[in-house]
């Protein structure tokens, strides 16, 4: 597409017309907002960064945060202590149960051992009697 003199004139007239229309509508308000922002920043810098009310608010907020942290720490410590106490009581109960079960098993083992000894003693006496009967031809009492 070739650019001709009449086309160039039309584009220039349209550009200037749009510039004439949009300058007060868009560019002017934009510049005012920038000027207001600069004035606000300059006023804040001139006032000494912060006002006393803001400093008081900040101190109150900081104090509330510190209190909340302390409360959270104490709640955590309390929960941890309860958990440890609960775990210790469960461990103690388990130790007692295991000790009683171990004692029960020891008693059962002792009874089984005694029964086995008596059984072996009787079998040994029976075998001795049978050996005496076969070797000597008489019963041993």
Is residue 140 within 8 A of residue 129, CB to CB? The reply is yes
- The pLDDT of 106-134, averaged and rounded, is 89
- The pLDDT of 89-95, averaged and rounded, is 92
pLDDT given for residue 47 in this prediction: 58
Residue 55 located in a structural domain: no
pLDDT given for residue 125 in this prediction: 87
Residue 23 located in a structural domain: yes
Range of the domain at 23: 12-47
For residue 40, what pLDDT band results from cuts at 50, 70 and 90? confident
Is residue 140 within 8 A of residue 128, CB to CB? The reply is yes
Task: Give the model confidence (pLDDT) of 18-34 as tens digits.
Answer: 989 888 888 888 889 99
Residue 29 located in a structural domain: yes
Residue 131 located in a structural domain: no
Residue 6 located in a structural domain: no
Number of domains in the chain: 1
pLDDT given for residue 13 in this prediction: 94
Residue 35 located in a structural domain: yes
Residue 62 located in a structural domain: no
């Amino acid at each position: 597409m070739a650019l001709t003199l009449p086309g160039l004139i039309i584009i220039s007239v349209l550009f200037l017309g749009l510039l004439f229309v949009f300058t007060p509508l868009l560019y002017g308000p934009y510049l005012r907002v920038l000027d207001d922002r600069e004035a606000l920043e300059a006023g804040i810098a001139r006032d000494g960064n912060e006002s006393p009310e803001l400093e008081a608010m900040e101190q109150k907020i900081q104090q509330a945060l510190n209190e909340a942290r302390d409360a959270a720490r104490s709640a955590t410590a309390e929960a941890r202590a309860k958990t440890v106490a609960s775990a210790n009581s469960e461990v103690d109960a388990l130790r007692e149960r295991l000790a009683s079960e171990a004692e029960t098993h020891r008693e059962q083992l002792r009874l089984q051992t005694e029964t086995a000894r008596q059984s072996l003693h009787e079998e040994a006496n029976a075998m001795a009697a049978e050996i005496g009967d076969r070797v000597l031809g008489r019963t041993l009492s």
